[in-house]
Amino acid sequence: MIDIPRYKKIVAETIIFDLNGTLAIDGKVDREVLDMLNTLNKKYKIVILTADTFGTVKRMFNEYNNITVEIINTMDEKTQVAKRYSPYIAIGNGNNDVDVFKNSELSIAIMNREGCSTKALFSADVVVNNIIDAIGLLLNEKRLIATLRE
């Protein structure tokens, strides 16, 4: 639980990540991000929902048995799969993340090299520059509290 004064208490055991544009750039995840996910996984269940546009997700995460990867085909399917993990925190950057954001306890939009859709931007609770900053908010919750408290 993250208690954010005069905002809300965020109760979530799962973090749902989009893959491309969020965790991965051009279908590749940096080693630093993988290491941060391993650290974050000590506190949260990590779930990646992706259409696997580049066909790389299985190879990237095959050595990480503690990270759940689900390949989805439509926005509706992404939303329905995400609901199975409620309550959750969502991290993404695209139009297909908007409904996932709306159903989350906390949503973080990423403005990475692939950009961020305006729909995702305006649906998010927090917007950060990159995935390292997003994971950093969850590893150091005082950053998140400082951003959202009233």
Domain ranges in the chain are: 2-90+100-112+123-148
CB–CB of 132/36 below 8 Å?
yes
- pLDDT tens digit string along 7-61? 889 999 999 999 988 999 888 899 999 999 999 999 999 999 999 888 888 888 8
Which CATH number applies to 2-90+100-112+123-148: 3.30.30.10, 2.40.50.40, 3.40.50.1000, 3.10.440.10?
A: 3.40.50.1000
Cross-strand bridge partners of residue 71: 50
Query: Strands 45-50 and 14-18: what pairing?
Result: parallel
Res 6: pLDDT: 87
Q: Is the pTM of this model over 0.85?
A: yes
Sequential DSSP letters for the chain: -EEETTTEEE--SEEEEETBTTTBBTTB--HHHHHHHHHHTTTSEEEEEE--TTS-HHHHHTT-TTEEEEE--SHHHHHHHHHTT-SEEEEE-SGGGHHHHHTSSEEEEE--TT---HHHHHH-SEEESSHHHHHHHHHSHHHHHHHH--
